[in-house]
Amino acid sequence: MAQMGMKDIKRRIRSIRNTRQITKGMELVAAAKLRKARNRFEETRAYFETVVSTVRDIAAGSSSGKNPFLEEREVKRELFIVVTSDRGLCGGYNVNVIKEVISRLEDGKEYAFIAVGRRGRDYLRARGYELAGDYAGISESPQYADARQIGDIAAGMFREGRVDRVSIAYTRFVSTISQEPRVMTLLPVAAGENEAQGKTEDIMTYEPSPEAVLETLIPMYVHGSVFGALVEASASEQAARRMAMESATGNANKMIDELILSYNRARQEIITREISEIVGGAEAIE
C-alpha cells in the first residue's frame, strides 16, 4: 500500500510541475503584454483626460437646449458599454466589473448593453439581456476604429431617444497590483465644475459659439472616452492575469513542497518497517 501511495504522490508531483510550467509561462507572457499595454495607456491618458475636461468645461457655459447630447432626461432606458476580457484566467477581473454593472440595475427601468469581450457577452446573453452591439476579440489590443464604432452606436441611440443615458463600465488601472471596476456616464455630457468659470470666459472665446464647438467636440469626446476606457481596461486585464498566474504558480510550489514532504515521510516509513523486519528476523534466528 505504501508503494502504491508513493507512486500516486510522484504522479501528482509530476502533474503539478507540468501545470506550474504553464502558469509560469502565462505569467511571463502577461508581464510582457502588461508593459506594452501600460505604455499605451500612459500615452493615451493625457488625451483622454483633456478631451473629457474640455468638453465638460465648454458644456458648463453652453445652453443644454441647443445640443441633444447635453439634454438631461428622465432615465427610463439606459445603455451600458461593458468592457470585459475575451479570455479567462485573470482572477476576479471580469466578475468585478459585471457585479458593478448589475448592482446599478434598477427595477422598473429598461437596459441595453454593448458587450466588449466574450466573457461579458456570454454572461449578458445567457441571462437574456438585450445586446445592441457585440465586440469580441479586441479586449487585449483595442484600436481607435473599434472605439469609433462603439461610440457611434451609443451616440446614435442617445440622439434618437432610444436610450436616456449612456454609461461605460470598465476596470480602472490603479497599479500593477490594484485594479478597480468603474462606471462612467458618457451621455448626456455632464457640465464640469469649473471654479474659475468666470475667469475662463474672460480669456477664452469660442467661435462661432460654444454650441457649435460642442457639435464637433462631442463625437471626439465619445470616441476618445471609449478608446481611453478600452486601453485602460486592456492594461488592467494583463495586470490581473499576471497576478492570477503568479498566485497560481506560488500555490503550485506550495503543493509540490507538501507532496515532497509526504513522499519522504512515506519513504521513511517503508525504510523503518524494513529495518524492523530485518532486526526482527535476526532476533528470531538467534
Active site residues: 90
| Cβ contacts of 134 within 8 Å, gap of 6 or more | 114, 115, 121
Burial (CB < 10 A; 0-12, 13-18, 19+), residue 105, is exposed
Question: Is the CB of residue 217 less than 8 Å from the CB of residue 202?
Answer: no
In this structure, are residues 53 and 194 in contact, taking their beta carbons and an 8 Å threshold?
no
Is residue 219 exposed (0-12), middle (13-18) or buried (19+ Cβ within 10 Å)?
Answer: middle
CA separation for the pair 252, 250 (Å, rounded): 5
Please state, in angstroms and rounded to a whole number, the distance separating the CA atoms of residues 76 and 54. 28
